[in-house]
Structure 1
């Protein structure tokens, strides 16, 4: 569904060519609707050669085993989002080690998914009972008997067989900015 009214002043939007693309722009102010986007995050938490998985209790993917994850909130740093999502869905405390995979799905709502390698800290998996109805740490052998979502299988392969270096948080960026940056540069 295309936007019809300006989010800044409420006037009608019209289609205009801006930057080589047709975009919805306000007829009264300078507002331009640049598109619809969502940013999802997923956790790859390993403990003793096992991966933390949850079974989805809601659509999409109800009944499938997936890695814990969710969507960022408007003013929430992305590395806090994934820590929160793991805690909310499983009760497990984990810390971010780095980014190990990205998925880009351009569509009506353009989705970018960021997969984080995470270090297990504490807690036994307990499902939230809303979004997930089961949670646990599982070996590759155990997963063969489970209905694991295809995308999660790909991520688990990265978690188990990849070098897990990925992109690491840049704790001392050379240019100040609000938020966090990730880099594969080793300092």
Structure 2
């Protein structure tokens, strides 16, 4: 699933009550499982000037990068943190960790050959889903439009909830980003 959709869904699911601190925590939690990819790929591409083909075909699948992805995409780690947040009854921590767990639950069935070891540190096993959110040969032709519709619905839900202005503007920007990304995947980056 694309990151903007994760942020919108995480904020809609865990950004209650519609208070800045809770919504911000939900947005951040929904971003955290993908953040390392953006930092590492951004550094490789824009600071180190490594060609995109090497970044996404070699570095992405390297042991070093996969170790980082295993940590920040672990159901066990995020689940333990969510359990602790629920036990301690800390609303912003529940929003943050709940949105992160939801991110992982949505990613798990939508990664074909680029999945993560979601059960780290107990197992390095990676589920290879028959469905992909970005690869049209693995169903992205129907997954991406569904994802875009879900993103639209949850953005409208956030606006109807009368979230703070900054969150409403962010939701609008994320929705536009999601629609742009879906358009790119479906029409420019993937062969039929």
Normalising by structure 2, we get a TM-score of 0.30
Q: Name the structure, 1 or 2, with higher relative contact order (CA <8 Å, separation 6+).
A: 2
Larger Rg: 1
Q: TM-score, normalised on structure 1?
A: 0.30
